[in-house]
Structure formats: C-alpha cells, structure tokens
C-alpha cells in the first residue's frame, strides 16, 4: 500500500506525526509512506521505518521568492517527483491552506481533516474523504485518529510510539547517566527560571550524572555557559544540526526540557524525562512518550497561553515567570528520578 503524507512543519508537528506511522505500519505491514516535509526536517522523517521516500520542500522560501524557485527548477522538480506515483491514499495531516495546495497536486484519493476539524477549514475543499477528528485532543491523538480513519484500521489504545530506531537502553538514575537539559525556548513566559536550572544542574552533578546543554542562538549559548561554569560534569554542546542532535538524543539516558521542539524530539527518541509547562497547555501539546511526562504549573492563571506575563498578584513573588514557582527544582528532580528507575 502506497500512501503520501503531507505534513511539512513545524518540528513539533512532524514529531507528533511519527506515532501514527507506527500504528499504520503495525496495522498494514506492506505499507510504504512517502512524506512531503520541510527540508529542515527531512532527516527526521527518513528515520521512521514506515517511510519509503521523502520529498523535501521549501514552501517558506519558495513563497518568498516564487520566480527564483521556478527559474531554478526546484519547484518543477518537486512537482514532478510528487506526481510520479498514483497513491492508494493521500493524507493531509496538517489541515492548512499551504498543505492543501500540495495535496491538490498529488495523485490518489485525498483524505484529511474536515472543515470543522482543520485549523483552516478551507483546506478541506481539496479532499475526497474529509474526516471528523475531535478538536481539543492532544496533537498526537488527533493524527493517530486521522490515520486510523483514513486507512481503515482500529485505533490502537497503547501509548504512542514514535518508532525511531534506538539501540541504547537508557540507564537508570541509580547509576551515572547522561542527561540533556533543553533550556531554550521562544516565548519569555515559557522559560524556566535560570536560577532553577542552576539548581537542577547542581542536583544532577552531585549525584554523579553528566549534564549536556544544547543551544540554538547566542543567548542560549551564553545561558548554557553560565549553567555549566561551576560543574566539571556539565558540558555545553557545540552548535549542531538536527540530525546530529537526534543521534545524540538516541544515545542519552534522560531529559528535562521546557516547552520546545527538543522536548518532543527527546520524548520521541525514547528518553525518559519531564517537560515543564507554565503558560502553555500540556493537554494539547505536552510531551507524550513511553517514559516522558509533562509537569504543569499549578497556578491560578495557568495555562494563560500568553507570550507576556500579566500576573500582578503575590503568589510566586520573586520568581519570573511566577507560575514556575510551583515547579521547584527539587520537585522536578524527584519526578525525573521516579521515571528513571
């Protein structure tokens, strides 16, 4: 069975799609999936055993420079590759106008989210078989349900499995282990306080573990250097691409992260770990994995889903953002230890 999957970005969205591929491959052993994905995430898509071929696209760049994309032949080559196969099913797992534009070009019966289920309802107009998938569920559950309905198998009830091949068995924290602390994120409100990170690094190093600190920009690199400065077993990673970082995650033992794409990647790589949620809602976008858990702030206005904190009360005074005052380092460390037995 040949299926074309349209799920281009972001990193979190791509990772949230992997468990649906695992389900589908188990239900349909001869399944072969071709995947249209943004070029930055092509390596990640190729790692899943159900994926036969990846079609890297550059929609953001092509939309910005459409004439250049045509003159260079990039767009023509992409379109020709996409239309070279008659698929048994084409699944738009994104539900956006941009994904509908690509879905329309493909050959085969087209499945996807109906106008009430998609983020952009107009995307359903190109579908032959629009599917009703309840909103308000976690993104992983929604994609798993969409695949099951589209391909005609019973939705599994087991925990989501991203299917990334992993030979290393994570070590328990009762012995020296390699941990990754993913401290970088976008919104100011999603940042776990640096002083709390410092305490977590201290707790980990004091128990004989090694802590690795990735970074993606100069600000994150400076913070990583400050966190590692006092500890011989804390290491700031060199700048690395997504493929190299994924390889590292598949060989480490546990993680702590804020609400960031790397948290989902760590969970998908099979690491036990915890992700810390203050202003955002883990019910919708929390980490899900065989041994990964989301810890949500227990605060009156959480989750506010705001990029700027507007809380002016006395709770959590001295902590910024104050909602993280309910996720103190010792509590976080204890939850991690419970997962890594």
40: enclosing H helix or E strand: none
62: enclosing H helix or E strand: helix 59-64
Strand, helix or coil for residue 305: coil
- State the pLDDT at residue 64: 79
End-to-end CA distance of the chain: 41
Tokens 């690795």, residue located: 212
pLDDT at 319 over 90: yes
The CA distance from 315 to 206, in Å, is 30
pLDDT per position as a tens digit, 53-95: 999 999 888 877 778 878 888 899 999 999 999 999 999 999 9
pLDDT per position as a tens digit, 102-153: 999 999 999 999 999 999 999 999 999 999 999 989 999 999 999 999 999 9
Secondary structure (DSSP) of 79-147: HHHHTTSB-SEEEE-S-SHHHHHHHHHSBS-EEEE-TTTSSSGGGGGG-SEEE---TTS-HHHHHHHHH
The CA distance from 253 to 176, in Å, is 10
pLDDT at 284 over 90: no
- State the pLDDT at residue 66: 77
Total Cβ atoms within 10 A of residue 335: 17
pLDDT per position as a tens digit, 224-272: 999 999 999 999 999 999 999 999 999 999 999 999 999 999 999 999 9
For the chain, the domains span 2-151, 178-339
Q: What's the CATH number for 178-339?
A: 3.40.50.2000
CATH architecture of 2-151: 3-Layer(aba) Sandwich (3.40)
- State the pLDDT at residue 290: 75
Q: Taking the complete model, does pTM exceed 0.85, yes or no?
A: yes
Fold agreement between 2-151 and 178-339: yes
* Tokens matching residue 287: 């980490």
């Amino acid at each position: 069975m040949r299926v074309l999957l349209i799920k281009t970005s972001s990193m979190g969205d791509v990772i949230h799609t992997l468990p649906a591929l695992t389900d589908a491959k188990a239900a349909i052993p001869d399944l072969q999936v071709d995947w249209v994905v943004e070029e930055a995430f092509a390596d990640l898509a190729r790692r899943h055993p159900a994926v036969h071929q990846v079609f890297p696209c550059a929609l953001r760049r092509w939309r910005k420079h459409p004439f250049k994309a045509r003159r260079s032949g990039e767009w023509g080559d992409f379109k020709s590759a996409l239309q070279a196969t008659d698929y048994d099913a084409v699944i738009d797992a994104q539900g956006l106008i941009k994904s509908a534009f690509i879905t329309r070009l493909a050959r085969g019966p087209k499945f996807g989210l109906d106008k009430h289920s998609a983020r952009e309802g107009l995307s359903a107009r190109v579908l032959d078989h629009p599917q009703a998938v309840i909103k308000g569920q976690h993104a992983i559950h929604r994609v798993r349900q969409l695949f099951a309905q589209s391909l005609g198998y019973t939705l599994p009830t087991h925990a989501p499995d991203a299917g990334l091949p992993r030979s290393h068995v994570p070590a328990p924290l009762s012995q020296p282990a390699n941990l990754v602390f993913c401290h970088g994120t976008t919104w100011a409100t999603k940042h776990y306080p640096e002083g709390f990170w410092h305490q977590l690094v201290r707790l980990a190093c004091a128990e004989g573990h090694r802590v690795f600190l990735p970074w993606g920009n100069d600000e994150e690199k400076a913070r990583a250097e400050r966190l590692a400065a006092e500890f011989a077993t804390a290491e700031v990673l060199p700048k690395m691409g997504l493929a190299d970082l994924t390889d590292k995650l598949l060989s480490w033992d546990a993680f702590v992260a804020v609400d960031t794409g790397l948290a989902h990647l760590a969970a998908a790589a099979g690491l036990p770990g915890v992700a810390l949620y203050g202003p955002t809602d883990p019910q919708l976008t929390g980490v899900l994995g065989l041994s990964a858990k989301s810890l949500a702030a227990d605060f009156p206005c959480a989750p506010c889903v705001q990029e700027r904190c507007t809380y002016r009360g006395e709770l959590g005074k001295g902590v910024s953002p104050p909602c993280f005052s309910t996720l103190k380092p010792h509590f976080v460390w204890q939850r991690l230890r419970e997962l890594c037995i």
